[in-house]
Chains A and B, each alone.
Chain A
Amino acid sequence: MEIPRHWRLKKQRYGLVGEVCPHCDHKIFPPRDVCPNCGDEAKEQFAFSGKGEVYSYTTVYEAPAGFDANAPYTVAIVKLEEGPMLTAQLTDLGEQPISIGMPVEMVTRKMRNDGDERGVIVYGYKFRPAPLHTTA
């Protein structure tokens, strides 16, 4: 289901591709062609490093249809090194406790499936704890 929708978002889902504003150098994710900072046109692509830190997080026990097989899972708002924030699941946590400010890095993971055995499996970005020496 919704194959064109997931296909057209592939650059964002797999490569964290956003935009940079040629007028004010503001980094933009998700892309929208209009700079939220200065309001000018901003169509220049910009690939984010995938490094950031946890701004807030919580656990979802009662999940929407399509996600219930993975519950409970952790959803976070991640502040990227380059400035913007995004929403993503945290993964590969093991026994590590999560905390606000914890450095994380992007990985590609299975996000959901569309139900039946013929459904599309959607892949995209999640974030895992980053070793301290790899962060700025």
Chain B
Amino acid sequence: MTDVVITGIGQTPVGEHWELGLRDLAVAAIRDALKDAGGLKPQALFVGNMLAPNLSNQAHLGALIAEYAGLTGIEAMTVEASGASGGAALRQGYLAVASGMVDVALVVGVEKFTDKIGSDVEEATATENDADFESIHGMTITAQAALLMKRYMHENEIPENGFANFALTAHANGVANKNAAFQKAIKAETYAKAEMVSDPIKVFDMAPQLDGAAALVLTRRELIPSNGQSLLVKIAGSAASSDTLALHDRKDMLYFDAAQISAGKAMKQAGITLSQINFFEYHDIFSIYAALQLEAVGFAIKGKGWKLAADGEIGLKGKIPCATMGGMKARGFAGGASGVYQAVEAVTQLRGQAGANQIAGATYGLIQSLGGPASTAVSHILQKLDWSNPDSV
């Protein structure tokens, strides 16, 4: 199969963008990515979005965003898989380009959380749960993660603040990311003293829900213009998997099957093993999700994902650096944009442009985008193509 490459990346800072609407954010990221790609003309637009119909009373984002980006006429549609919408949009773009039916695809993830507040946001995010059998009982996305974390702590012996390093690492990595919502490291005591949200989840065990957009330009390698990016990143593996929507329908809710399946398929396609992955952008909207992803993907055995973090192995110099640009905790959780931010950040690492957060010699990055508690899991392996080394191209 021909190589699909990411030849343009763009992003807005993640934050409370009172002055910018859904379309403004998306267009800013798209223009950034198209400029980076050096003049490629997209033929299709895949929009990753989670909650615009609920949060912004706006559906039909494909046509809207294509129009405002000056691309009216191209094929354009939304891809929705809750929090995994960004990863799912990337996969649809990948499939379109890999199939040969589309030469250049534009993928944009966008979310506008802050037009609503409080119980309206809780109501909107709860739509990712089973409406008839979870949400009607007052279940929120945070409560769902809390139920998982409580059971995890019941079955595994975890010291007090055993999850702290997920937050500490993310916030330390956010310092050097100018697009991160929080660019300040936190101390262990700040984590420990934080307010309880839904026991055992405290403030720093969850990511802030904020506005943002990120974009990617995909094409096949042979179509790259001479003035395009010389630092190429290939999509070496792409896979998606689903699990039960409701947590209570799982055989073992403490194992993220879909995360395991999609990561395994993506690695198989890329022809690599775990030890070749230089960094992992996980979906750390909740610390417990990060721990369960480390276990499902295979970086830790069942029940020991928290330990990998506690031992410092997820830091930039650890065995498997995670959330290298701040992850969802520090960069911020911008809903359906999150999976696209992961790809943008991974490309930045693989191009060697991650500044103070650069992972030396990074060749392979795994990114994994989750919808709910891995009811959807989309995994991609991104690979640096080194033009100076013909064997790798």
A residues with CB within 8 A of B? 5, 9, 12, 30, 36, 55-68, 70, 73, 75-77, 84-89, 100, 111-112, 122, 124, 126
Contacts and interface: CB of A to CB of B under 8 A. Distances in A.
A89 B201 CA distance: 18
Contacts, number: 99
Which residue of B120, B133, B201 has the most chain A CB atoms within 10 A of its CB atom? B133
Given A30-B133, A75-B138, A64 B119 contact: yes
Interface in B340-381: none
Nearest to A13: B136
Contacts of A75: 137-139, 143, 147
Given A87-B134, A87-B248, A61 B198 contact: yes
Interface in B90-130: 118-120, 122-123, 126, 130
Interface in B212-263: 246-249, 253
A85 B190 CA distance: 36
A63 B119 contact: yes
B187 interface: no
A119 B246 CA distance: 27
Contacts of A64: 119, 122-123, 126, 135, 138, 140
8 contacts: A61-B197, A64-B138, A65-B120, A75-B137, A77-B253, A87-B137, A111-B138, A112-B136
Given A75-B138, A77-B253, A112-B136, 17 more contacts: A55-B151, A57-B150, A59-B199, A60-B142, A60-B143, A61-B198, A64-B119, A64-B123, A66-B123, A75-B139, A75-B147, A76-B147, A77-B151, A87-B246, A87-B247, A100-B154, A111-B137
B290 interface: no
Given A55-B151, A57-B147, A89 B247 contact: no
Interface residues of B, number: 34
B140 A60 contact: yes
Contacts of B133: 12, 30, 86-87
B322 to A, nearest CB: 25
A67 B151 CA distance: 24
Which residue of B120, B134, B136 has the most chain A CB atoms within 10 A of its CB atom? B136
Contacts of A62: 118-119, 122, 140, 142, 197
B132 interface: yes
Nearest to B250: A85
Contacts of A100: 150-151, 154
Contact of A122 (B136, B139, B248): B136
Interface majority SS on B: helix, strand, loop or mixed? helix
Contacts of B151: 55-56, 77, 100
Contacts of B118: 62
B138 A73 contact: yes
B146 interface: yes
A31 to B, nearest CB: 10
A88 B134 CA distance: 7
The 9 tightest CB contacts between A and B, nearest first, are A58-B146, A64-B123, A64-B122, A85-B248, A56-B151, A65-B119, A65-B123, A67-B138, A56-B147
Nearest to A5: B132
B154 A63 contact: no
Nearest to A62: B122
Contacts of A57: 147, 150
B198 A59 contact: yes
A88 to B, nearest CB: 5
A75 B140 CA distance: 9
A12 B142 CA distance: 25
Nearest to B146: A58
Nearest to A70: B138
Nearest to B248: A85
B333 to A, nearest CB: 15
Nearest to B246: A87
